[in-house]
Amino acid sequence: MSTMCVAAASVPQPTACPVRHCARKRLLQLQVIRIIVQNMRKRSLLAILLSATLAAPMVARAGDANFTLTIKDRKFDVAELDVPANAKFTLTVKNLDKVPSEFESSDLNREKVVVGSGTITVYLGPLTPGSYEFFDDFNPAARGHIVAK
Ligand SMILES: [Cu+2]
C-alpha cells in the first residue's frame, strides 16, 4: 500500500446525479415557470381591465342622452341647460362663429377648445343634482349653467 493510493482514494469523486433528484428539480423549475406565467396572465388581465375602466368614461354608451349648446356671436344659445341627474350624457358644443372658443367648466372639470365653425363632444355625468357653471374661456363674459335635476 503506497501513499499515492491513499491520496487518490481521498479525492472526492464527482457524485452522479441520481435520476430522481433531477426529475424533482425539473418539476420544481416547471412549477416556477408556471407561477411566473400565471402572474403575467393576471397582470395583463388587470391591465386590460384597468384600461377598459379608464377608457369607459370616454365612450358614450348607446342610449346616453345628448344635449347641444351652440355658440353664436360669442354667446351660448342657452343660459341654463337642464340635464338628468345621476346619468351619463354627452354634450355637443357647436361653434357657429369663425373665431375659436373654449368650453370650460371648473365645476365640471372640463376644458376643451372648439375651433371656428367646429363641434366638440364633452362626456359628462353622472352628476349629483345641482347647478354647474360653464363659460367660454376665450370670452369669459359668455356663461351658462348646466342644471342636473
Ligand atoms: Cu381654459
What is the 112 CA–ligand 1 centroid distance (Å)? 7
Q: Which of 98, 91, 101, 96 is nearest to 142 (CA)?
A: 101
Tens digits of residue pLDDT in 40-86: 776 666 565 555 555 545 555 667 899 999 999 999 999 999 999 99
What is the 92 CA–ligand 1 centroid distance (Å)? 17
CA distances from 83 to 67, 89, 90, 114, 128 (A): 8, 8, 10, 21, 11
Q: CATH number of the domain at 65-148, out of 3.40.50.300, 2.60.40.420, 3.20.140.10, 3.50.50.60?
A: 2.60.40.420
Residues near ion ligand 1 (Cβ under 5 Å): 102, 104, 111, 137
pLDDT score at 113? 98
What is the 11 CA–ligand 1 centroid distance (Å)? 83
What is the 101 CA–ligand 1 centroid distance (Å)? 9
Tens digits of residue pLDDT in 106-130: 999 999 999 999 999 999 999 999 9
Residue boundaries of the structural domains of the chain = 17-57, 65-148
